[in-house]
Amino acid sequence: MAPYHIVLVHFPLGLWMTATLFIVLRAFSDGALAKTIDRALVPLLSVALVFGLLAFAIGLLVWPWETIASTPLGRNHVLTASWTVACWAILLWVRWRRGETVWDGMSRWIMAGLALLGSALLGITGT
């Protein structure tokens, strides 16, 4: 199962990094390209979340929970993976529920901040 986890983890990581670029671009721009890219954001985040949850589940199947919980590295890895999936799930939910209005006012900067936080978590989890 370990090779499957390793292969599956890189797919959502790449999608979430792409989503970070999309969100930051949309936060700074109201141009036609940014609006076009924004329409792909919900499907992109949805696919990434599904694969992220799948990678998380398979990661828990690689070793018994007792083994993961007995080492600081294992606990931290599961903790940061949980925070990463949760952060990107919140971003998806907010963008999906608020629609285009998420880019009005201060909320655009909150979205950009959450995306950058999610990217930072990706860097911690991926190591």
Count, in order, helices (H) and strands (E) of the chain: 6, 0
Confidence band, pLDDT 50/70/90 cuts, at residue 36: very high
Q: Is the dihedral of CA 119, 125, 126, 127 positive or negative?
A: positive
Pick the closest to residue 41 from 99, 83, 86 (CA basis).
99
| Residue 94: domain span | 2-125
Q: Residue 1 above 80 pLDDT?
A: no
Q: Residue 68 above 90 pLDDT?
A: no
Number of independent structural domains in the chain: 1
Confidence band, pLDDT 50/70/90 cuts, at residue 2: low
Confidence band, pLDDT 50/70/90 cuts, at residue 127: very low
**Mean per-residue pLDDT of the chain:** 89
Provide the token pair at 14.
Answer: 């790449």
Provide the token pair at 107.
Answer: 């909320």
